[in-house]
């Protein structure tokens, strides 16, 4: 089972940037497509305290719901990149 999960929305450019980074770092992850309706994003709200996506989970590193694509990319590069 992979440690990383990504909550994302079809066609979301911020999610695409995160996925690009995951691919560049050759990381496996489980994708969860969320509903277009914010009211139906209970899990995203529960784990991250807001309803926007992308949101990243990385169980192995104690990350249970990290929002903001730039923060997610920074975390992935710092944790799994060449300089990690
Ligand atoms: N600053 C945020 C922006 C994320 C964002 O705007 N995500 C969109 C989807 S592309 C979203 O969830 N917006 C709320 C919505 O309208 O569903 C980031 O970089 O992650």
Q: Tens digits of per-residue pLDDT, 29-78?
A: 999 999 999 889 999 999 999 999 999 999 999 999 999 999 999 999 99
Calculate how far, in angstroms, residue 54's C-alpha sits from the geometric centre of ligand 1: 7
Q: What ranges do the domains of the chain cover?
A: 4-80
pLDDT value for 34: 97
Calculate how far, in angstroms, residue 53's C-alpha sits from the geometric centre of ligand 1: 5
CATH of 4-80, one of 3.10.20.30, 1.10.3720.10, 3.30.1180.10, 3.40.30.10: 3.40.30.10
Residue at token pair 């209970």? 42
- Residue 15: band (very low, low, confident or very high) from pLDDT cuts 50, 70, 90: very high
Q: Is 9 in the pocket of ligand 1 (CB under 6 A)?
A: yes
Phi, psi dihedrals of residue 50, rounded to the nearest 5°: -155, 175
Calculate how far, in angstroms, residue 33's C-alpha sits from the geometric centre of ligand 1: 13
Global pTM value: 0.94
């Amino acid at each position: 089972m992979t440690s990383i999960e990504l909550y994302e929305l079809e066609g979301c450019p911020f999610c695409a940037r995160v996925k690009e980074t995951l691919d560049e770092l050759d990381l496996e992850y489980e994708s969860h497509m969320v509903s277009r309706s914010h009211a139906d994003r209970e899990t995203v709200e529960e784990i991250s305290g807001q309803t926007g996506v992308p949101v990243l989970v990385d169980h192995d590193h104690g990350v249970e719901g990290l929002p903001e694509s730039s923060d997610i990319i920074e975390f992935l590069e710092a944790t799994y990149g060449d300089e990690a």
